[in-house]
Structure 1
């Protein structure tokens, strides 16, 4: 029954695709919620497999350590964002601590969005 409830919005939106009728408001929200439920249905299959059971046990055993890891990461994020904000020149890209935090997130996660870059140089241009 749940599978039928989850797949019906797909066919309703498919039928409405060629018409001028567009779902709005609560209907669109309900359709998105059903699509999310359809995606979350995958976890039901993971739960029943041996790999899913092993993953669940591993995450349960590592939960305290993951909490400590997240706390250390947040502390490093705040510390380095404040440090970079304090060290950077006044006319840099980092005009506020939240912008410095965005730089720290991009640096700590090694994503490397180069929108905000540090202008601090440890040596002068002649020494390079």
Structure 2
């Protein structure tokens, strides 16, 4: 899948195709923004129809209407995709992009339903097309923040994996103990079933479908729940620490001040926060130039 930016796409030719391209692929005009907002509304409406169709009483009462609406949405999206490809200089470039693949997947389930019954329910993937709202509402700058969080998650993946592995070992041990202690009538018919109970108990969800009935088993349950409360903050702390480290790395420079050695300056800082020394050693300090022109030889920052 090629991550094609809308700015990399070009219209096929001057005239009608260029005007259509400006409406469909750009959002800096009222007409283009209105098209995107209307498209998002139609996408949400099509997903709502699929959700309502899954309700048995509504499907029995309005099944024919749901089918007509679904085919209407599919034909509309098919025409829209055809128009998108029509106005592009290289339509295959768009089809291989993220949005192009999503647009194609959005219409395939209904057409495939003619061959494979039941596939049309997959049209809920159309909800992914609402990602265009980032472009409409000028929210693309938040993509950088998302990448920061994803990068922090990737860098803390080893610690989180080690934590999850430790939790899995604890769950397996406690589940095996409870399986040996509790009777089968209590629901602990196998170790995998006991592991399910241990996970539910450790996460403090407590469905109550399987519960220990012996005093020792209940004591183990209390222990598992207390452990769950005590360790639930571990992955959050690891991830938060990595996010803070990423923010600092993105905001602060690791270059030390040539005057005092202080190394906690913001990347756009020009003078040392502690001693006032000019930080860029490759260029002259503009304040020195000004002082020389004024005949003042006192070093900057000196009292």
TM range (shorter): 0.5 to 0.7
Q: Which residue is 1:32 aligned to?
A: 124
Distance 1:88 1:82 in 2: 10
Return the offset for 1:58. Answer: 1.8
Distance 2:49 2:146 in 1: 37
* Structure 2 segments unaligned to the other structure (5+ residues): 1-23, 26-35, 53-61, 68-116, 217-303
Q: Which residue is 1:56 aligned to?
A: 150
* Structure 1 segments unaligned to the other structure (5+ residues): 123-128
Distance 1:12 1:87 in 2: 53
**Which residues in structure 2 correspond to 1:70-109 (within 5 Å)?**
70-109=164-203
Q: Where has structure 1 moved over 3 Å in runs of 4 or more?
A: 1-19, 21-24, 44-48
TM-score (norm 2): 0.32
Distance 1:75 1:63 in 2: 18
Across the aligned residues of Structure 1 and Structure 2, the Cα RMSD in angstroms comes to 3.6
Q: Which of 59, 64, 72 is equivalent to 1:20?
A: 64
Count residues with an aligned counterpart: 118
**More divergent stretch after superposition (44-53 vs 67-76):** 44-53
Bigger radius of gyration? 2
Inter-CA distance 52–90: structure 2 relative to 1 (3 Å threshold): closer
